Amino acid sequence: MSAIVTKSPMDISLPEWLQQCLDESSSTQNGKAASGNKIYSDIALIAQAFQFAYQLHEGQLRKSGEPYICHPIAVADLLRDLGGSAVMIAAGFLHDVVEDTEVTIEEIEERFGQEVRQLVEGVTKLSKINFKSKTESQAENFRRMFLAMAKDIRVIVVKLADRLHNMRTLEHLGDEKRRRIALETKEIFAPLANRLGIWRIKWELEDLSFKYLEPDAFRHMQQLVAEKRGAREDKLKQVREMLQDRLAKADIKCLDLSGRPKHLFSIYQKMQRQHKEFHEIYDLAALRIIVQTNEECYRALAVVHDVFRPIPGRFKDYIGLPKPNRYQSLHTGVIAPWGRPLEIQIRTMEMHHIAEYGIAAHWKYKESGGSSTTNLSGTDEKFTWLRQLLEWQNDLNDAQEYLESVKDNLFEDDVYVFTPRGDVIPLNASSTPIDFAYRIHTEVGNHCAGARVNGRMIPLSTSLQNGDIVDIITQKNSHPSLDWLNFVRTSLAKNRIKQWYKRSHKEENIARGRELLEKELGRTGFDNLLKSHAMQTVAEKSNYQNVEDLLAGLGYGEITLNQVLNRWREVIKSQEPLTTESEVPPNFPTSTPKIARDTSISSRPSDSPIWGVEGLLYDLAKCCHPIPNEPIIGVVTRGKGIKIHHQGCHNLETMECERLVPVKWNTSEQNGNRYSGYPVKIQIETLDRVGVFKDILSRLSDQGINVRRANVKTDPGKPALIDLVIEVRDRTQLEQLFTQIKKMSDILNIRRVSQVDN
C-alpha cells in the first residue's frame, strides 16, 4: 500500500476528524506513537481503510459528477456521528469496494481483519436486495436481511447510513429511479430505523422520501411551516423561560430545555390521518426537558403540571414502560399560555442519547472502544421482535403470511400489559388475551379456556389496553379454535393456531389436498405423478419436505392450487427434452407404445410420446389434432388432465396464460416403432374424372397411410371435393404425402383442415 494521504485531494473536502486521523496515522508511521496503543491502532485502521477506498474508487464519479469517494466518506462520517467504532467506520469506507471494484471479500479480510470483512460482506449482500418485486421474492429478501441483522446488527446500521446519504443526493437520478428508491426507503428502511430506535435517521429518511414521492405536498408543507416559524419560536421562548424559572426554584438541574420542531412528514401524516387542515394541527413543535436522574423526570413532570393545565389522556410514561426499541421518556400534553395544546417531553441525558441514536447508543455511550458485535445471543429483550421473525422463518411457508408478520413487527404501534406477577408484555395494538397467551408460551395459548383482565372475566376477543393485568385460564382438554383467527392480532398467535390445526388434522388435510389436485389434473396416472421426482421438486420449492406435507398444506389452505400448478409448470419447463443418445438415461424407454384410438392417454415416465406430461392424464386436442414434429403446447383443463394443442391453434387465443404448460414431442431416435395413427383431416380439390379417387387412394396406400373416413362431393361443371380423415406417423410423412398428391395432373389443391371429428 502506498503512503497514507495526509492532505485533502483538491477535488474533495475531508471532515476534520478524518484529516486528524490521517495526520496522526502518518505520525504513528514515523514512530511518534506508542506501540500497541489501541487508540492509535483504531486511528491506523480508519486511515488505511480510507486510503484503500480512495485508491480503488479513484477515477469513478457519481451521477452528480463528484468523485465517488465522497459517498464512502459521508457514510463513514454518519457512522462516526452515531458512535460507531473504528471497525464500523472502516466498513463505511469500504462498503462499496467489493461490489464496484475488482477487490474480493477475502482481500478485505486479509488487509483489515475478519470483523471488517463480516460487516462489508453483510452490507454487500443487502445491496443486492431489490424490494420492488413479487410477493415471494420480497419475502425472501426480508428473510435474508433479518438473517444478516441477526449475525451482526451493525450491518443494518451501516446500510442505513449508506441509504441516508444516497437519499440526500437522490436529485441526480432519473424520476422513475428516484421514486423507486424513495418508496423503498419509506416502506422498509425508515421503519427499520424506527425499530432500532435511531430516530434522527428515521425522521430524515421519511422527510426525504416524502420530498420525492409527493413533491407538491412537500413544498406546500415547507411553505406552511416556514410561515409560522417566527411566531412559534417566540411562543416557545416564553414557555421555556417560565419552566426554567420554576425548575430552578424546585432545585431541579435542567441540562437542556429546547424546542423540537416536528418533521414535515409526521405533520402531513397527522393531517391525512385525522382529516385536518394545517391550521388545525396544534403540536407542530414539542418542548424537551433534559434532567439528570429518573427521579428528577417525575419531579419535573409535577412542575410542568403545576405551571400548565394538563390535558386528560395525553400523558404517557415510557420510562416505566419503555418501547421495544428502548425508547424512554415522559410525554405530557398541556394547554399553553396562548390556549393551544403543547407537547412536553421529559427525559435524562442517557434516555435522550438512546432516543436519538437507538441501538447505536450501545456503542456511542455504553462501550469503551465499541468494537464488539451486537447479535441475538443472551436475553436482551430489545431484539425480541427480530428473534421472533427469525423463528417464524422456518414456520411460515406462505410468502404473504410472512410479509404480514414482518409488517406487524416493523410498522405497528404497541400496547403494554402485565402478567399477574407484574412482568411487562409488549403486544401489537388491539391485541387480545389469545395474543397474550401465545406470547407467554405456545402451550398456554393452545390450552387457553378463558381470561381475566383486571380481575374480571372477559371474552377472548376483547382488545387489551395499556396497563391491563391479564391472567390466562388453561384447561388440559381445551384446544385452539379456527374462529380465533378472526380476531387475534399478532402473527405469532395466528401462526401457532394454524400449526396446531395442521398437526391435529393432517390426514384430513392430505386427503383434501389430494382431492383438489386430482380434480385438476385427472385421476388416471395421478399416483405416478405424486411419486415422481418432479412433484418432490415442487414440494421442496414450496418449502415442504415431501409431497405429503405439500398435499396437507394444499388441503389446509396454506398454499393455493394455482401456486402448486405454477411451480409444477416451472419444474416441467426446466426439464429440457433429451435430444441425443448420450443424454438418454439408462432406464429411459427405447420405444413408445401405440396410443389407443379415440381415448384419453395416461402417460407414464416410461411410455410418454410427449415430453412434459410424464405421469399425467393428457389428450390430443380435437380442434387442431397436432401430430409429431409440430410445435405444441399443453393446456391444463379442469378435471380432464392436459390438452395438447398445435401452437397455432386459434383456440389458444382465449386461454389463460397461467394454464399453459411447455411440452414437446418425444422425437428420440430410440422410438423407431412409433404409432402411425395420428388422425388428420385433409381436403383435396380435383378435376372430376373417372378413377381420380382410386388414384389418390393408391398414393395413400404406397405411403402406408390408413384412411379412417372419406367423403366425395361432386357438382356438374365444378371441381370435385374429397374430404379424408387419414392416420399419419408425423408431420414429415404428411408433407411427403402432400408432395406426392400435388404431382398428380388432375389435382388442383390440397390442404389440411383443422377440425377432425371422431
Residue among 322, 246, 244 at smallest CA distance from 288: 244
Cα separation, 647 vs 637, whole angstroms: 16
Query: Which stretch of DSSP H or E encloses residue 68?
Result: none
Cα separation, 77 vs 9, whole angstroms: 17
Q: Which three cell numbers stand for residue 507?
A: 390426514
* CA geometry: angle 622, 628, 629, nearest 5 deg: 125
Beta strands in 183-255 (DSSP E): none
* Inter-residue contact 120 to 113 (CB < 8 Å): no
Residues making up the chain, counted from first to last: 758
Contacts of 375 (CB under 8 A, 6+ apart): 150, 151, 152, 153
Sign of the CA dihedral 235, 241, 247, 252?
positive
Annotated active-site residue in 58, 99, 527, 570: 99
- Residue environment code for 43-82, b if the CB has 16+ CB neighbours within 10 A, otherwise e: bbbbbbbbbbbbebbeeeeeeeeebbbbbbbbbbbbbbeb
Classify residue 609 by its DSSP letter: S
Cα separation, 138 vs 666, whole angstroms: 38
Pairing of strands 617-620, 642-646: parallel
- Residue environment code for 273-289, b if the CB has 16+ CB neighbours within 10 A, otherwise e: eeeeebeebbbbbbbbb
Annotated active-site residue in 23, 66, 100, 414: 100
Cα separation, 360 vs 363, whole angstroms: 6
Q: Which three cell numbers stand for residue 337?
A: 399560555
Cα separation, 758 vs 755, whole angstroms: 10
How many CB atoms are located within 10 Å of the residue 100 CB? Answer: 14
Share in percent of the chain as helix, strand, coil (round to 5): 50, 15, 35
Active site residue 280: no
- Residue environment code for 522-551, b if the CB has 16+ CB neighbours within 10 A, otherwise e: bebbbebbbebebbbbbbeebbbeebbbbb
Q: Which residue has the cell 448420450?
A: 582
Q: Which residue has the cell 462501550?
A: 367
Active site residue 100: yes
Query: Which stretch of DSSP H or E encloses residue 752?
Result: strand 747-753
What is the four-CA torsion angle of 45, 50, 55, 59, rounded to 10 degrees?
170
Half-sphere exposure of 525 (CA within 13 A, CB side): 25
Runs of H (alpha helix) within 412-470: 433-440, 442-446
Cα separation, 756 vs 735, whole angstroms: 18
Query: Which stretch of DSSP H or E encloses residue 716?
Result: none
Q: Which three cell numbers stand for residue 566?
A: 405454477
- What residues are labeled active site? 99-100
